[in-house]
Amino acid sequence: MMKKYTIKDIAELAGVSKGTVDRVLHKRGKVSDSALKKVNKVLEEIEYKPNPIAKSLKNNKVYKVCILFPQSTQDSFWTPCISAVEEIENNYQAFGIAIEQHRYDSNSPSSFLDQANSIISTKPNALLMAPLFYKEAQEVKKNCLEKEIIISTFNNMIDKNSLSNYIGQDLFQSGRIAAKLLDSLTNSGHMLIVHIDEQVQNATHMQEKEKGFKKYFEEKKESHYKVSTISINKEQATNYAAHLQQYFNSNSDINGVFVTTSKTYIVAKFNKENYKKLKIVGYDLVEKNIDYLQQGSIDFLINQNPKKQAFQGLSNLAEHLLFGKEIPKAMLLPIDIINSENYKEYLE
Amino acid sequence: MMKKYTIKDIAELAGVSKGTVDRVLHKRGKVSDSALKKVNKVLEEIEYKPNPIAKSLKNNKVYKVCILFPQSTQDSFWTPCISAVEEIENNYQAFGIAIEQHRYDSNSPSSFLDQANSIISTKPNALLMAPLFYKEAQEVKKNCLEKEIIISTFNNMIDKNSLSNYIGQDLFQSGRIAAKLLDSLTNSGHMLIVHIDEQVQNATHMQEKEKGFKKYFEEKKESHYKVSTISINKEQATNYAAHLQQYFNSNSDINGVFVTTSKTYIVAKFNKENYKKLKIVGYDLVEKNIDYLQQGSIDFLINQNPKKQAFQGLSNLAEHLLFGKEIPKAMLLPIDIINSENYKEYLE
DNA sequence: TTGTACGCGTTATCAC
DNA sequence: GTGATAACGCGTACAA
């Protein structure tokens, strides 16, 4: 409950003026040797931390932070990001942070680019985005740098040297986790990786997961494991069940399936209605997946936690703008393993 | 980037002085009808949010927040709390929050009480504690209330009606999670719950977990499951292996074990060296558990996340003291499922 | 090279 | 009832 040391205190202790202390602290020069020594002596004895509240008091402006991610009508994976925005607004609105939410069509690179450029033209202080399209994201990044808009990305990385304040998960490791889970669920040795219904833009995503998955089984020494991969794209989407049935008929030794996207429910539905022998591990707490998780048709889900990603990203930006905190170059969030009993707490 | 509305703005718009606006906003009375109407009219038109930074500027004091939890020499479960304290210090020291860390002997109720009372006598602004001892905790709580010290608890609850700002997990649900995990790992029907090496004070903890575990199997319809329970206390601790061997010899159908404490490694060690057929689910990311997790002798760990608990507790207190945010009466944190592939991100 | 005065938004006090 | 003013801690502009 003691008092905090302020510049004024230091000035009094050193027998100089506030201005002089300020010049010493900020190394602006124009200080006599004798004054410098006096101030430094005091600074050594006490521990001075500038008050960030007072610092930011002068900023009577509203910082505009924009967030850009896909529409959730197309993929409910993104829905939780909305509540992240709401929470951040509650926390930081009074401090002068205004969040603007923008969405784009996850099937249209040009929609992403248009939205991003329209945001940039309004000159926000910072932009947090989930960039599905690599090439377009590069351009957006360039435009932001030009206009001195701070840029952060979440869920999808746009450069490996992390120059864009990435918040997300280690996708390779995430594939390993899926492998370990299926390994503990099954005893047979034939696993299937299923890529469902995603566009080219997510290729890196799925590839990383696949690599991690395979790596796990390669490392297992007593390895009698076999890993196969199939991709199902939109064109075949009219009849998933027939497609899957056909595949499993000729590969009846498979009993573990790793679905690399949030469309896990498609395989779960097939398994529940037709096949009934698969152990399934997939991604994300979307409604349909949770249904099958509760019914026991999906064994585990891996939570990519889009809400936490967005929340962290916005937090980092707000704290930086308000209090000058450094933005971490890369934050790898934990990868949550979800089963029918612990999903609830992760939903909110 | 627009300007924020301040009291001064409102005063100008309403044609009154700042003081009058202040009296209206804080309902201090002593305002004429005409002035009241003018100010209220402006307030309806614009959206005014007081600036919490300016509010707290006047507080040129250091708030003292104490945290009290068991020594980690006795149980490394508590070690991560230290880094929670460090992170909070980094975040809030400059705002005028000082954290004081205190520890007690987890085997000694009187040590807990002594430490707590010694803390209280220094009159901190708030106390966050992990109270292992129910009776003593009641007394501590009473003493805090008398001295107007804000009290919060983490990891262990001291009242069910949540009058003490509890941060922790749903232990019943945590038992259900363990059950589901063992259910997916084994096919036989005999499960064993092992309570190891804990004192009476943790009885509630372990009972809740046991209840949840049993409930899960009761609910399973096609239930050919059997659940047994054993407790191993300190006296028998000299020879865990013999003790366990004896039990399993006469219950050889058991192949799933749920250990309700962080001493999970004891059963894992026995299994690795002597028995080799158990699937094991237990608690907490302590070093020995992680070793066995990596070796495959423990299948899953449930993370009670003491660091996050402590971090949340301290955050809540700091934000309350600095900016007047409300302290949640109860925060139930997610219950993390950990395997050999995802423990790393949860450690830091 | 140094000291002083002012502004930021809020609140409390004091004089009218 | 009301309005003017000081104070909080920091940065900065300006005068000495």
Reply yes or no on domain B171-303 having CATH 3.40.50.2300.
yes
Average the pLDDT over A272-299 and give the result: 94
Cβ distance A53 to B93 less than 8 Å, yes or no, reads no
**What is the Cα–Cα distance from A6 to B254, expressed in whole angstroms?**
66
- The ranges assigned to domains in chain A are 7-49, 59-168+306-333, 171-303
Q: Which residues numbered 18-77 in chain B sit less than 7 A from strand D, measured from CB?
A: 18-20, 23, 30-32, 34-36, 54, 57-58, 60
**What is the Cα–Cα distance from A134 to A29, expressed in whole angstroms?**
47
Instruction: Indicate the residue type of B218.
Output: E
- For chain A, what is the mean pLDDT? 91
Residue A169, exposed/middle/buried by CB under 10 A (0-12, 13-18, 19+)?
Answer: buried
Indicate the fold that domain B59-168+306-333 takes in CATH. Rossmann fold (3.40.50)
Q: How distant is C1' of D13 from CA of A144, in Å?
A: 33
* pLDDT recorded at residue B200: 58
Cβ distance A342 to B335 less than 8 Å, yes or no, reads yes
* pLDDT recorded at residue B21: 95
Instruction: Tell which residue, A97, A95, A84, has the closest CA to residue B325.
Output: A95
Under 8 Å CB-to-CB from B252, ≥6 apart: which residues? none
Say whether residue B338 is in contact with chain A using an 8 A CB cutoff.
Answer: yes
Report whether B195 contacts B260 (CB < 8 A): yes
- What is the per-residue pLDDT across B120-147, written as a single tens digit (0 to 9) for each? 999 999 999 999 998 999 999 999 999 9
List of chain A residues whose C-beta atoms are within 8 Å of the C-beta of residue B337? 336-339, 342
**B139 CA: distance to closest CA in chain A (Å):** 24
Please state the φ and ψ torsions of residue B64, each to the nearest 5 degrees. Answer: -100, 120
Q: Which of residues 99-138 of A touch B (CB under 8 A)?
A: 123, 125
Three-state secondary structure call for residue B2:
coil
Instruction: Tell which residue, A21, A26, A59, A70, has the closest CA to residue A318.
Output: A59
List of chain A residues whose C-beta atoms are within 8 Å of the C-beta of residue B6? 60
List of chain A residues whose C-beta atoms are within 8 Å of the C-beta of residue B299? 184
Say whether residue A328 is in contact with chain B using an 8 A CB cutoff.
Answer: no
- What is the per-residue pLDDT across B160-214, written as a single tens digit (0 to 9) for each? 776 789 999 999 999 999 999 999 998 767 999 999 866 656 678 899 999 999 9
Strand partners, A97: A63
pTM: 0.90
Cβ distance B94 to A61 less than 8 Å, yes or no, reads no
Three-state secondary structure call for residue A221:
coil
**What is the Cα–Cα distance from B101 to B164, expressed in whole angstroms?**
19
- What is the per-residue pLDDT across A63-117, written as a single tens digit (0 to 9) for each? 999 999 999 887 899 999 999 999 999 889 888 899 999 999 988 999 999 999 9
Average the pLDDT over B299-311 and give the result: 97
For the cut 80, the answer to whether the pLDDT of residue A137 exceeds it is yes
Report the percent of chain A where pLDDT is more than 70: 94
Instruction: List strand residue ranges (DSSP E) for chain A, in order.
Output: 63-70, 97-104, 126-129, 150-154, 166-168, 190-196, 226-232, 254-259, 279-283, 300-303, 330-332, 336-338
Cβ distance B4 to A345 less than 8 Å, yes or no, reads no
Three-state secondary structure call for residue B27:
coil
- Work out the angle at residue B318's Cα, subtended by the Cα atoms of residues B317 and B320, and round it to the nearest 5 degrees: 65
For the cut 70, the answer to whether the pLDDT of residue A335 exceeds it is yes
- What is the per-residue pLDDT across B253-293, written as a single tens digit (0 to 9) for each? 998 999 999 999 999 999 999 877 899 999 999 999 999 99
Task: Give me the residue label for tokens 């936490």.
Answer: A308
**A108 CA: distance to closest CA in chain B (Å):** 30
Report whether A340 contacts A319 (CB < 8 A): no
Q: What is the DSSP letter of B233?
A: -
- What is the per-residue pLDDT across B12-71, written as a single tens digit (0 to 9) for each? 999 999 999 999 999 988 899 999 999 999 999 998 888 888 888 887 788 999 999 999
Say whether residue B188 is in contact with chain A using an 8 A CB cutoff.
Answer: no
For the cut 60, the answer to whether the pLDDT of residue A160 exceeds it is yes
For the cut 70, the answer to whether the pLDDT of residue B234 exceeds it is no
Q: B46: how many CB neighbours lie within 10 A of its CB?
A: 10
Q: A253: how many CB neighbours lie within 10 A of its CB?
A: 9
Nucleotide nearest to B58 (CA to C1'): D8
**What is the Cα–Cα distance from A194 to A67, expressed in whole angstroms?**
31
Confidence of residue B334 (pLDDT cuts 50, 70, 90): very high
Say whether residue A184 is in contact with chain B using an 8 A CB cutoff.
Answer: yes
- From the list A1, A333, A341, the residue facing B64 with the nearest CB is A1
**What is the Cα–Cα distance from B223 to A302, expressed in whole angstroms?**
28
- What is the per-residue pLDDT across A230-257, written as a single tens digit (0 to 9) for each? 988 766 666 788 888 889 989 988 989 9
Kindly determine whether the C-beta of residue A4 is less than 7 Å away from any atom of nucleic acid strand D.
Answer: yes
